[in-house]
């Protein structure tokens, strides 16, 4: 007796992983799509100018000098241009060097929804890969916008953000930098997907780098995540593979960093609008949640002509993060730039004593200045549950200053200068660039760089553009 076996029911096609969807869209993104949005293109230029200014300021910093010394020993000799020195290095090393320069002063852009991030940390992936590919300014704009698009979406997708679970946002950058580098190298969608898997599966960054006493690693982990993405893209270009389920599969991002993710945020409406237009800039070279308190205190001090000896106490009501991360005991006794620029008491003390908070307030001499340090004990910071309820839509702060002679001044501020709701003007972005670049670039060199960035879509070569960011002045003996 013969028997027949019924055919097995056909299985539905497997649902594509989220990195497949992201990679497919990124691989197909063209400048012509962006050019329909003048706001997106213009904001990319503004953020590039801001970032190059930050990098030229960073070029003058001690931690960058250390890193460049190490890279001069280990880096390959050609491929991409290093800002400041103008030296040619391999694209992986150049991406690290340039990202560290952009990041090290904590002065570049800021986005904060569920998670904080500095998407311009990824710009050097676009720059280095763009040089390697022989690309022009239009293609560079694609890379700049692409990094902000996915970095900012990743910030919005976790509830609560991964920073609330003890992880640093460089963890997210490791997912985005390979997308940017891959697109700039004209990789296929499948190659970009593998690059995401290579980079993201190898890097997860502990929040310890921004907790308690801070070190040079605070500003280095995100540049290392950018470097990771460039290396991953190069590997994928040659056929290296990485896990395709690194976000939504077993032991991927969602599995390990739960509990709640809204992954549709990563792909819904791609190309309908551009996240880069919603990113803020920094008016102060400090941690983002210090900006509203600084703005509020400066307004009270200047409007009422308050001097350090007039002030008895400053009460600041802020977010839980501001009270915990930025006002722990180590922040009342900062001895390094890294701790000082993440210290809410220090930046408020500087605002009181100096009536400004600029890179000048973060030299070692200023950090130990007795007038500034005398203000630290006057500053009391408390978390306010009502303020926490409106965060991050509002970065509200309530400041109350008591004077020695019994006067009281109070103000509430919901967001700082530089927020998209109160943005830096183009002129203010230029002024920030000028102040940061002036010690190492002549006026003529600064003007050439600014003109090229404002006309970025007309630049025929990313490499030629990068050469305009070379310092033509030696640091003075007082440089730091």
Beta bridge partners of residue 323, listed in sequence order: none
d(CA 152, CA 270): 12
Q: How confident is the model over 324-356, as pLDDT tens digits?
A: 889 999 999 999 999 999 999 999 999 999 999
The answer to whether residue 259 scores a pLDDT higher than 90 is no
Residue in the block written with tokens 């904060």? 112
Helix (H) or strand (E) holding 381: strand 379-383
Q: What is the mean pLDDT of residues 31-58?
A: 97
Residue 267, judged by CB atoms within 10 A of its CB (0-12, 13-18, 19+), counts as: middle
State both tokens at 292.
């509203």
Which one-letter DSSP state was computed for residue 333?
S
Residue 368's pLDDT band, with cuts at 50, 70 and 90, is very high
Q: What local confidence, expressed as pLDDT, does residue 325 receive? A: 87
The answer to whether residue 378 scores a pLDDT higher than 80 is yes
Q: What is the mean pLDDT of residues 147-172?
A: 95
Convert 156-195 into a string of H (helix), E (strand) and C (coil).
Answer: HHEECCHHHHCECCHHHHHHHHHHHHHHHCCCCHHHHHHH
Residue 4's pLDDT band, with cuts at 50, 70 and 90, is very low
Counting Cα atoms < 13 Å in the Cβ hemisphere of 392 gives 19
81, 88 contact by CB (below 8 A): yes
d(CA 39, CA 78): 35
259: left (phi over 0), alpha (psi -120 to 50) or beta: alpha
Q: How confident is the model over 99-130, as pLDDT tens digits?
A: 999 999 999 999 988 899 999 999 999 999 99
């Amino acid at each position: 007796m013969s028997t027949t076996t019924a055919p097995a029911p056909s299985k539905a096609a497997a649902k594509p992983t989220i990195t497949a969807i992201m990679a497919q869209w990124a691989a197909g993104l063209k400048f012509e799509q962006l050019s329909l949005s003048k706001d997106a293109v213009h904001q990319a230029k503004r953020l590039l100018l801001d970032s190059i200014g930050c990098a030229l300021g960073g070029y003058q910093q001690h931690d960058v000098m250390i890193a460049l010394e190490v890279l001069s020993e280990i880096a390959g000799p050609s491929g991409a241009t290093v800002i400041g020195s103008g030296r040619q290095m391999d694209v992986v090393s150049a991406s690290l060097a340039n990202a560290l320069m952009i990041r090290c002063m904590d002065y570049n852009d800021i986005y904060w929804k569920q998670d904080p991030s500095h998407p311009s940390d990824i710009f050097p992936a676009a720059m280095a890969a763009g040089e390697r590919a022989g690309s022009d300014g239009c293609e560079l704009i694609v890379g700049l916008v692409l990094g902000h698009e996915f970095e900012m979406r990743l910030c919005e997708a976790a509830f609560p953000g991964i920073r609330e679970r003890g992880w640093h946002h460089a963890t997210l950058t490791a997912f985005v930098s390979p997308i940017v580098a891959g697109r700039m190298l004209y990789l296929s969608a499948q190659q970009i997907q593998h690059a995401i898997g290579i980079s993201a599966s190898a890097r997860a960054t502990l929040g310890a780098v921004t907790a308690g006493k801070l070190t040079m690693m605070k500003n280095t982990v995100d540049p290392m995540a950018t470097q990771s993405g460039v290396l991953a893209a190069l590997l994928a270009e040659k056929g290296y593979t990485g896990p395709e389920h690194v976000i939504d599969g077993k032991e991927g991002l969602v599995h390990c960093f739960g509990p709640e993710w809204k992954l549709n945020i990563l792909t819904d409406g791609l190309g309908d609008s551009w996240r880069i237009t919603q990113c803020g800039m920094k008016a102060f070279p400090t941690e983002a949640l210090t900006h509203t308190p600084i703005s509020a205190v400066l307004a009270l001090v200047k409007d009422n002509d308050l001097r350090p000896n007039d002030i008895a106490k400053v009460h600041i009501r802020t977010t839980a993060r501001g009270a915990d991360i930025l006002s722990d005991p180590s922040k009342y006794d900062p001895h390094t730039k890294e701790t000082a620029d993440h210290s809410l008491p220090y930046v408020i003390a500087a605002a009181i004593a100096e009536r400004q908070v600029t890179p000048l307030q973060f030299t070692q001499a200023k950090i130990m200045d007795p007038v500034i340090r005398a203000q630290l004990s006057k500053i009391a910071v408390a978390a306010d549950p009502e303020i926490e309820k409106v965060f991050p839509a509002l970065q509200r702060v309530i400041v109350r200053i008591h004077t020695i002679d019994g006067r009281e001044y109070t103000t509430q501020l919901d967001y700082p200068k530089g927020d998209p709701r109160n943005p830096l003007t183009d002129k203010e972005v230029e002024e920030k660039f000028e102040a940061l670049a002036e010690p190492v670039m002549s006026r003529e060199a600064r003007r050439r760089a600014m003109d090229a960035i404002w006309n970025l879509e007309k630049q025929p070569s990313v490499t030629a553009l990068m050469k305009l960011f070379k310092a033509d002045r030696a640091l003075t003996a007082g440089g730091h």
